[in-house]
């Protein structure tokens, strides 16, 4: 199908973009790489009055590595992360995650900010950034605010973004020790959204761990019981499986043994991969 008619603006400043997005009596949509919005426009699932192109906003391309924080601009494409951007800082973790998103032609244009702003429950970045404890930097008519991604992503396609707000980028705490990580994703076919995806990271071998499961519920969840279990050092398969079951059971429909086994297996594999490094 073809998209319905809309107006298009390409602001040069974040302030102008904010103003356009907050246009009164109009539905507006922000576009970055467009790799999720275009299908929705073409299928007329989305029928905005105005599409606001964020591609020209230099602030959203800002990138830096400081001693304690890595800053990634919202317009950073999956492909540039796949090709090694900040790969050394995160021990190849975000590079691996990026390389498994959709297809290369999509990764050339799809952005990390767009992925988080859409907040698809099965998307790769929200869960990955949660595992890394990322802070989302948001700009709007009331200035700039920062919010942990754990709070920013609220549910299926739901974030705390107000209509006038734009994700500027992400601040990720720089790992103090080398990052040990594991990620396991189950998809029906390569490039599809995940049926289950788990992320596990720890700062150095045996350091404090963070484990996140996505595609299981309306948003990614930090698996607190699993993290506690890892911290005790009792990490037999049985002990981990019991902890995973406690965390995952509330997220899946009661009695769905397949989903329990699926998510248990992705989490377990991610944790084992992390521990093997």
Partner 1 sequence: MKSLTLELNDVKISHHVEPRETLADFLRERCRLTATHLGCEHGACGSCTVVVDGKAARSCLRLAIMCGESKVQTLEGMEDDTVMGLLRQHFHHGHALQCGFCTSGMLLMARDILLRISEPDAETVRQQLSGHICRCTGYANIVSAIVAAGKEMADAKT
Residue 106 or 186: which CB sits closer to partner 1?
106
Which listed residue (22, 26, 29, 38) binds partner 1 by CB under 8 A?
Answer: 38
Which listed residue (12, 27, 43, 141) binds partner 1 by CB under 8 A?
Answer: 43
Which region, judged by CB under 8 A, interacts with partner 1, from 97-105, 159-167, 237-245, 266-274? Answer: 97-105
The two most distant CA atoms of the chain are separated, in Å, by: 59
Query: Looking only at residues 133 through 172 of this chain, which bind partner 1 when binding is defined by CB under 8 A?
Result: none
Of residues 157, 159, 166, 175, the one with CA closest to residue 137: 166
At residue 121, φ and ψ (nearest 5 deg) are -60, -25
Separation of CA 52 from chain center: 22
Burial level of 67, CB count in 10 A (0-12/13-18/19+)?
exposed
Which listed residue (14, 30, 46, 51) binds partner 1 by CB under 8 A?
Answer: 51
Kindly state the number of chain residues that form the binding site for partner 1, as judged by CB under 8 A.
31
Radius of gyration of the chain (CA): 19
Q: Going by DSSP bridges, is the β-strand pair 179-186/196-203 parallel, antiparallel, or unpaired?
A: antiparallel
Which region, judged by CB under 8 A, interacts with partner 1, from 30-38, 88-96, 141-149, 213-221? Answer: 30-38
Tell me the two tokens of residue 110. 């799809």
Which listed residue (12, 104, 205, 261) binds partner 1 by CB under 8 A?
Answer: 104
Residues near partner 1, by CB under 8 A: 1-8, 10, 31, 34-35, 38-39, 41-43, 51, 53, 55, 79, 102-106, 108-109, 189-191
């Amino acid at each position: 199908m073809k998209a319905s008619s809309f107006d298009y603006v390409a602001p040069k400043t974040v302030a102008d973009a904010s103003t356009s997005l907050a246009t009164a009596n109009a539905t507006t949509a922000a576009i970055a790489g467009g790799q999720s919005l275009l299908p929705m426009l073409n299928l007329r699932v989305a029928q905005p009055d105005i599409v606001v192109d964020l591609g020209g906003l230099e602030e959203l391309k800002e990138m830096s590595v400081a001693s304690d924080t890595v800053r990634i601009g919202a317009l950073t494409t999956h492909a540039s992360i796949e090709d090694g951007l900040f790969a050394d800082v995160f021990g190849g973790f975000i590079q691996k995650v990026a390389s498994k998103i959709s297809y290369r032609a999509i990764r050339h244009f799809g952005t990390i900010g767009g992925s988080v702003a859409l907040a698809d429950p099965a998307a790769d970045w929200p869960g990955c950034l949660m595992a890394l404890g990322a802070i989302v930097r948001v700009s709007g008519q009331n200035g700039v605010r920062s919010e942990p991604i754990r709070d920013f992503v609220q549910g299926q396609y739901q974030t705390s973004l107000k209509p006038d707000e734009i994700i500027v980028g992400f601040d990720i705490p720089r790992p103090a020790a080398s990052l040990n990580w594991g990620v396991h994703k189950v998809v029906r076919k390569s490039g599809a959204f995940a049926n289950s995806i788990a992320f596990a990271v720890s700062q150095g071998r045996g350091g404090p761990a963070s484990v996140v499961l996505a595609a299981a519920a309306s948003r990614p969840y930090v698996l607190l019981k699993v993290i506690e279990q890892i911290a005790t050092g009792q990490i037999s398969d049985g002990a981990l499986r019991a902890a995973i079951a406690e965390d995952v059971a509330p997220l899946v429909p009661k009695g769905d043994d397949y989903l329990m086994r699926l998510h248990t297996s992705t989490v377990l594999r991610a944790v084992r991969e992390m521990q093997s490094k």
